[in-house]
Structure 1
């Protein structure tokens, strides 16, 4: 067995006593390799030189001929250890025990460091206001939980929804708010009852869903679409639990889905740095926007008047595309001054279309003037990334933010 194979076997034995994710598994393996002093390029034991056997004479001489039973030239006859010697642990055994103890100490130390470094991810990933009334707020987070909060009065947590085994990435209410969908890294989409907290149904195509949206039409509330890690947009029917359509044209994971044009069409963005427009239920995109200068746009919001799409671009800009007919980039409306590269910070508009808001990687809330595109105000909102900002539709002086520091804040 090669040294690396021994390490892998030992890693598996170690992992039998603790349940860890693949990322930590790789870390433990790397630590053990390091602890045992193995080089990264060492793929196995060095090929040993061929051992020579003692020549056994001529085959015609029956007394001196050894044939295949001849001993090796460097072979030594070793006597069996005495009973006293046999009862004492060998130096090899002691070294083995010492090495295992050392490896466990190193692994424990590195895992503690790993946990400290990843604490920043135990935060809120998305927030959604209750339809029409906006008196409740739905949040999903990296601790696998979904929570429903009161926006008014005591602002208490009204209900916690537990059912996902990995971080929840996105949530979406239906039109009445009685049900909502959640998308998580455990590869499941789940339908929940908002009032009872019960999981009604679950859906999966064995890929990670990155975003999920109900069809907003009243007569299509049993249908929803989800952008997947395998480049597809998948459409499910809640009634049957079956996939009824696939939109397979993107060349990268699908990050956003936004309904436009009175819900007859929807816009999707992807890691392939393109924007595509689809007719509902037709699996071929009728509009494809991709320029050499374009970057990935992992967060998209439709304006209150339905005319514009605000797209968070990974080159630290918010780009504005028309949301009707031509879907052209509005070059006069580009918002700059914040740092978001690498983060899907959600953008939003004020209800009267006077301002645009967005969080950034530094935890700041940025507010721009819509007409002039100038940065109007900046607030230090969170200790970590400010991942989402929502403007309250009725109390127009209030903005709700959430961040990777695990906090949701209401600003007036």
Structure 2
């Protein structure tokens, strides 16, 4: 006899197989079994829609909030800006980060707070509703490189280039500090969504994978070229590594084997961020030293888009987590670019124009 729910499981496998092979997958809904699934390339976010150029200097990182309603950006200036993603008007300016700029930002899982990681060796916690400073974390001896939040938004791990205090856990509501006592610098870090692993990139050619609960080392990975940034897929299965040699690599965190190598972009001495994204997280993407934006299909490994993004360098590109048809990119040209489909770009420009004029209709909230 067939096991219980076997038919439903098989049908789900068929649907997932169609998603996995859809080259321009943008459909948020489940595929129909009445016909072969194929998304129209015209709905893919490859159309330049808007430019946000009021950050006032090089832009090093952009991050959408988890609910997709806001976008934050940081760079060589001492302030961080937050826009709403309906009209892309500025909602908050977070000031006074020192003269060397802000390297990265991290939204709390509930989007009520944001951490700014600065080159002035401080990390600062902000209220994203009011734009006010909640607290300034202790001063490190080197710049703060990144932040990983706990799922309950009550604690976080900070990474720093400080070799003595490279990893520290802080609480939001008290002053407790837990030292991880790891003797390497932290250039970038990320946490698995299941909160089991914390992955750290040092300033050499090593990736360190830690148990996030015990803080013990699980294993090390030594690469042939220096890694610059890391991120983990939503199913906590795959690690995406960007490297200085212009190669992005997908690694299975369980088997520790390389699954795919993504080529076509160029690396260099500076940190360029890659990321997962799209409907069903079907894609990986990266900025590039030559200014282009590269998008690859995660399961097939094929490059699907090369967008002329920024000059001289595209530092990061991110997908809106709740909108499969919206990307944001940033570069050393001081610009933040919003990308969407050709049809939606007209609507987005119109909303932005109304918002910048200070006028919003009730229909803009729908």
**Structure 2 runs not aligned, ≥5 long:** 1-55, 341-366
Match of residue 380 from structure 1? 308
Report deviation, 1:310. Answer: 0.8
Q: Please tell me whether the aligned partners of residues 314 and 341 of structure 1 are also in contact (alpha carbons under 8 angstroms).
A: yes
> Given the alignment, which residue of 266, 281, 298 partners 1:339?
266
Match of residue 178 from structure 2? 244
Match of residue 211 from structure 1? 145
- Note the alpha carbon deviations across 1:299-354, whole angstroms, 9 max, x for none: 1122233321110011110011113x34x132x40011111122322112223243
Structure 1: distance between partners of 2:316 and 2:279: 17
Report deviation, 1:261. Answer: 6.2
Q: Within the alignment, does 1:256 sit opposite 2:188 as a pair?
A: yes
Q: Please tell me whether the aligned partners of residues 300 and 312 of structure 1 are also in contact (alpha carbons under 8 angstroms).
A: yes
- Note the alpha carbon deviations across 1:65-86, whole angstroms, 9 max, x for none: xxxxxxxxxxxxxxxxxxxxxx
Match of residue 21 from structure 2? none
Structure 2: distance between partners of 1:306 and 1:140: 27
Q: Within the alignment, does 1:279 sit opposite 2:211 as a pair?
A: yes
Q: Please tell me whether the aligned partners of residues 402 and 408 of structure 1 are also in contact (alpha carbons under 8 angstroms).
A: yes
Q: Which has the higher helix share?
A: 1
Match of residue 90 from structure 2? 157
> Given the alignment, which residue of 145, 151, 156 partners 2:79?
145
Cα distance, 1:385–1:347 mapped onto 2, change above 3 Å: same
Partner SS, residue 280 of structure 2: coil
Q: Within the alignment, does 1:369 sit opposite 2:302 as a pair?
A: no
Q: Which has the higher strand share?
A: 2
> Given the alignment, which residue of 115, 122, 134 partners 2:57?
122
Q: Please tell me whether the aligned partners of residues 401 and 410 of structure 1 are also in contact (alpha carbons under 8 angstroms).
A: yes
- Note the alpha carbon deviations across 1:224-277, whole angstroms, 9 max, x for none: 111111232122223332422224143xx2112211261022111111211111
Larger radius of gyration: 1
Cα distance, 1:316–1:284 mapped onto 2, change above 3 Å: same
Structure 2: distance between partners of 1:260 and 1:396: 22
Structure 2: distance between partners of 1:315 and 1:165: 31
Report deviation, 1:174. Answer: 1.0
**Structure 1 runs not aligned, ≥5 long:** 1-120
- TM-score normalised by length of structure 1: 0.64
- Note the alpha carbon deviations across 1:130-152, whole angstroms, 9 max, x for none: 12x20100111211110011111
Of structures 1 and 2, the one scoring higher in RCO (CA 8 A, sep 6+) is: 2
Q: Please tell me whether the aligned partners of residues 249 and 284 of structure 1 are also in contact (alpha carbons under 8 angstroms).
A: no
Cα distance, 1:254–1:303 mapped onto 2, change above 3 Å: same
Structure 2: distance between partners of 1:138 and 1:290: 33
